[in-house]
Amino acid sequence: MTSTAASPRPALLAARPGPWWRDAVTYQVYIRSFADGDGDGMGDIAGIRSRLGYLAELGVDAVWINPWYPSPQADAGYDVADYRDIEPAFGTLADAEALIEQAHGLGLRVLLDIVPNHTSDEHPWFVEALASGPGSPARGRYLFRPGKGPDGALPPNDWKAVFGGPAWRRVTEPDGRPGEWYLHLFDPKQPDLNWDDPAVRAEFLDILRFWFDRGADGFRIDVAHGLVKDPTLPDLGLDEEHLLGQPDRDDHPHWDLPGVHEIYREWRALADTYDPPKLYVAEAWVSSPERLAAYLRPDELHTAFDFDFVRAGWDAAELRATATASLAAHDKVGAPVMWVLSNHDIARHVSRLGRPHAERSADPLHGHNGVTDVELGRRRARAALLLELALPGGVYLYQGEELGLEEVEDLPDELLQDPTWFRSGGAERGRDGCRVPLPWASSGPSLGFGSAQGWLPQPASWSGLSVEAQDGEPASMLSLYREALRLRRDLPSLGAGTGADVRWLDLGDDVLAFGREPGFGCVVNTGSTPVPLPAGTVLLSSGPLDLTPAAAGSGGRPELPADTAVWVARG
Ligand code: NOJ
Tell whether the model's pLDDT for residue 23 goes beyond 80: yes
For the Cβ of 432 lying below 6 angstroms from any atom of ligand 1, the answer is no
**pLDDT, tens digit, for every residue of 68-109?**
999 999 999 999 999 999 999 999 999 999 999 999 999 999
Segment 159-187 shows an average pLDDT of 96
Residue among 61, 121, 192, 222 flagged as catalytic = 222
Q: Strand 279-282 and strand 559-560: pairing?
A: unpaired
Per-residue pLDDT, averaged over 123-143, amounts to 98
Average pLDDT taken over every residue of the chain: 93
- Residue 29's alpha-carbon distances to 207, 320, 482, in angstroms, are 21, 29, 17
Our answer to whether residue 266 is catalytic in this structure is no
From residue 335, alpha-carbon distances to 19, 149, 157, 223, 433 in Å are 11, 48, 38, 20, 33
What confidence tens digit (pLDDT) does each residue in 236-261 have?
986 556 655 667 677 899 999 999 99
Query: Band of the pLDDT at 50, cuts 50, 70, 90?
Result: very high
CA distances from 282 to 293, 315, 349, 363, 533 (A): 11, 27, 21, 22, 38
Give the C-alpha separation, 63 to 417, whole Å.
25
Average pLDDT of 274-291? 96
Query: Which atom of ligand 1 is the closest one to the Cα of 79?
Result: 11
283 catalytically annotated: yes
Q: Give the model's pLDDT for residue 244.
A: 57
Confidence tier at 17 by pLDDT (50, 70, 90): low
Query: What's at 81, amino acid-wise?
Result: A
Q: Which of 151, 201, 203, 222 is nearest to 181 (CA)?
A: 151
The predicted-structure confidence for 480-527, as pLDDT tens digits, reads as follows 999 999 999 998 778 889 999 999 999 999 999 999 998 999 999 999
What is the pLDDT confidence band of residue 6, given thresholds at 50, 70 and 90?
very low
Instruction: Tell me what pLDDT residue 10 has.
Output: 45
Residue range 24-41: mean pLDDT, rounded: 98
Q: Can you give the pLDDT at residue 194?
A: 98
Q: Which of 28, 49, 50, 159 is nearest to 95 (CA)?
A: 49
Under the banding of pLDDT at 50, 70 and 90, the label for residue 369 is low
Nearest protein Cα to ligand 1, atom 6: 78
What's the pLDDT score for residue 8?
Answer: 45
> What is the whole-number distance in angstroms between the Cα of residue 550 and the centre of ligand 1?
53
Ligand 1 centre from 75 Cα, in Å?
Answer: 8
Q: Work out the percent of the chain whose per-residue pLDDT is above 70.
A: 93
Ligand 1: residue whose CA is nearest its atom 11: 78
pLDDT in tens, 390-412: 999 999 999 999 999 999 999 99
Q: Catalytic: which of 44, 283, 345, 407?
A: 283
Give the model's confidence band at 9: pLDDT under 50 very low, under 70 low, under 90 confident, else very high.
Answer: very low
Q: Please state the pTM of the whole predicted model.
A: 0.96
Ligand 1: does its nearest atom lie under 6 Å from the Cβ of 186? yes
CB 452 within 8 A of CB 446: yes
CA–centroid distance, residue 77 to ligand 1 (Å): 9
Q: Is the CB of 345 under 6 A from ligand 1?
A: yes
For residue 13, pLDDT beyond 90: no
Average pLDDT on 226-231 reads 97
Taking residues 49-61, what's their average pLDDT? 97
> Mind listing the pLDDT tens digit for each residue in 304-354?
999 999 988 899 999 999 999 999 999 999 999 999 999 999 999 999 999
Cα angle 223, 229, 231 (rounded to 5 degrees) comes to: 170
pLDDT at 18: 78
d(CA 524, CA 531): 10
**Helix, strand, or coil (residue 160):** strand
Pairing of strands 279-282, 218-221: parallel
pLDDT at 365: 62
Q: How far is the CA of 222 from the centre of ligand 1 (A)?
A: 6
Residue 441 pLDDT exceeds 50: yes
Whether residue 536 is predicted with pLDDT greater than 50 in this model: the reply is yes
CA distance to 21, 56, 141, 224, 390, per residue, from 25 (Å): 8, 11, 37, 21, 12
